[in-house]
Amino acid sequence: MKELTPKGIAIRVAFLLSFLVVIVLGMVLISNQLFLSIYYYFLFFVITLAISYFGFLLALEKFIYKKIKLIYRTIHNQKLKKEISNTNKLFFSEDIALNKDKDIINQVQQDVLDWVKTNQQEISRLKGLETYRREFVGNVSHELKTPIFSIQGYILTLLEGGLDDPTINKDYLIKANNSVERMIAIIEDLDEITKLESGRLAMKIEKIDIVQLVKDVVDSLEDRAKTAHVSIKIQKEVKSIWVMADYGKICQVIVNLIVNAIKYGKEEGEIQIKFFDMHDTILIEVADEGEGIEAHHLPRLFERFYRTDKGRARQNGGSGLGLSIVKHIIEAHQQTVNVRSSTGVGSTFSFTLEKAKGK
Ligand code: ADP
């Protein structure tokens, strides 16, 4: 159908009305034996047309102001100012005149539909956030419960006489302290992930030697690897490889991956760290010889608090956030992280970093 603008409606109605008025007038005059020239009828038609056109236009404008502007007020309140001025040209400005050259009904319908669509998207976004918030709070309290209850257990035993028992008192205090340390680690990881997720963490991208960084991290984890009877091997032939990255953040990535490889790797086993030149990027791989991860876990492995074996993972003392932090950091570098694993053979975690230009 053709566009129905206020001007279009007014001219149609005015035309019809003037036509009817002239016909009726003509019939009345003729029945009274009064014959006027056709020019008078035409003049009368034009005058009626002009008066009724402006009259209708005014009435329509008032009606639309009253009815439709109310709808628009609701919609406008929900829309961004910029959006209004760009997309909605029905009103020249919020409080001035109505644009009479617009197809009001279709425009209103379209704008209301757009508004409903935007609102539906907003509702689904808020629902998503709500589910995320609920799951996050649930997971955090679940994670904190284990160390809190064990601290309470040790303290109660000490209070109920254990304090005077030299065979357990020191031991229980050490265990309670370990649980406190576990809680601190969880809280630090939570803090880190909140910063990463809210985008508040500024990256300090600079030219760094990734091989040297890996060597430094491996040195710092030597004791931990020794205690677990695991040896860490860095690809021998590589010297320096320069990449663009945030030194501190990539240290954390390597720590998290090596610590996992120690925790979930094979006792007396080996962890291998390798570097591959991928044209524009460098691929860094951390491979262990542990039990591996079943294929169905792989797509969810980088989610917060996701664990393949809840019992074993908690026993190992992790926060359940290590891989999620790794993913956030690598994605903040606009790079990718990946995992491949075969049960009984081991797991290989890899990520890319942008090569630095020049030497
Ligand atoms: P955490 O180790 O604290 O539980 P992570 O986010 O670091 O949390 O790891 C998530 C889960 O992924 C672990 O609980 C474990 O089930 C699995 N996982 C991580 N790294 C390895 C690995 N190298 N080998 C086998 N499983 C792993």
Residue 192, C-beta contacts closer than 8 angstroms, at least 6 positions apart: 252, 321, 325
Which residue CA neighbors atom 24 of ligand 1 most closely? Answer: 264
Cα(306) to ligand 1 centroid in Å equals 8
Q: Does residue 32 carry a pLDDT above 80? A: yes
Does residue 323 line the site of ligand 1, with CB under 6 A? Answer: yes
Say whether pLDDT at 219 is over 80.
yes
Q: Which of 14-28, 101-115, 125-139, 259-273 has the lowest mean pLDDT?
A: 101-115
Lowest mean pLDDT of 26-40, 300-314, 320-334, name the range: 300-314
Q: What is the pLDDT of residues 181-193, one digit of tens each?
A: 999 999 999 999 9
CA–centroid distance, 263 to ligand 1, in Å, is 8
pTM of the model: 0.69
Q: How far is the CA of 260 from the centre of ligand 1 (A)?
A: 6
Q: What is the pLDDT of residue 73?
A: 72
Highest-scoring range by mean pLDDT, 91-100, 109-118, 179-188: 179-188
Q: Is the CB of 261 under 6 A from ligand 1?
A: yes
Structure tokens belonging to residue 252: 């954390």
Q: Give distance in angstroms: CA of 145 to centre of ligand 1.
A: 20
**Rounded CA gap, 272 and 36, in Å?**
109
What number does the ligand 1 atom closest to the CA of 346 have? Answer: 24
Statement: residue 256 has pLDDT above 50: yes
pLDDT in tens, 120-156: 999 999 999 999 889 889 989 988 998 999 999 999 9
> How crowded is the C-beta side of 108, counted as CA atoms within 13 Å?
17
What is the mean predicted confidence (pLDDT) over 276-286? 96
Decide whether any atom of ligand 1 lies within 6 Å of the 214 Cβ. Answer: no
- Please give the distance, rounded to the nearest whole angstrom, from the Cα atom of residue 338 to the centre of ligand 1: 13
C-alpha to C-alpha distance for 23 and 79, rounded to whole angstroms: 50
Q: Kindly tell me if the per-residue pLDDT of 254 is higher than 60.
A: yes
pLDDT, tens only, 296-323: 999 999 998 898 876 656 566 678 899 9
3-class SS at 97? coil
DSSP string, 37-52: -HHHHHHHHHHHHHHH
| Distance in angstroms (rounded) separating the CA atoms of residues 14 and 19 | 8
Q: Identify the pLDDT of residue 201.
A: 75
- CA separation for the pair 354, 250 (Å, rounded): 12
Q: Cβ(313) to ligand 1 under 6 A? A: yes
Confidence of residue 5 (pLDDT cuts 50, 70, 90): confident
Beta carbons of 232 and 195 less than 8 angstroms apart: no
Residue 83's pLDDT band, with cuts at 50, 70 and 90, is very low
**Residue 297 gets which letter from DSSP?**
G
User: Percentage of the chain surpassing pLDDT 70?
Assistant: 89
- pLDDT score at 313: 60
Of 198-202, 307-311, 312-316, 327-331, the range with the highest mean pLDDT is 327-331
Domain boundaries of the chain, sorted by first residue: 6-102, 131-198, 205-355
- Is the CB of 308 inside a 6 Å radius of any atom of ligand 1? yes
Whether 291 has a pLDDT exceeding 70, the answer reads yes
CATH topology of domain 205-355: Heat Shock Protein 90 (3.30.565)
Our CA dihedral for 297, 303, 305, 307, rounded to 10 degrees, sits at 10
Instruction: Name which residue leads in pLDDT, 102 or 234.
Output: 234
- The pLDDT of residue 95 is above 50: no
| Residues composing the chain | 359
Does the beta carbon of 348 sit less than 6 angstroms from any atom of ligand 1?
no
Amino acid at position 169, single letter: N
Distance (Å) from CA 196 to ligand 1 centroid:
20
How much is the pLDDT for 132? 87
pLDDT 10s digits, 158-176: 999 999 999 999 999 999 9
- The CATH-assigned architecture of domain 131-198 is Orthogonal Bundle (1.10)
User: Ligand 1 centre from 321 Cα, in Å?
Assistant: 9
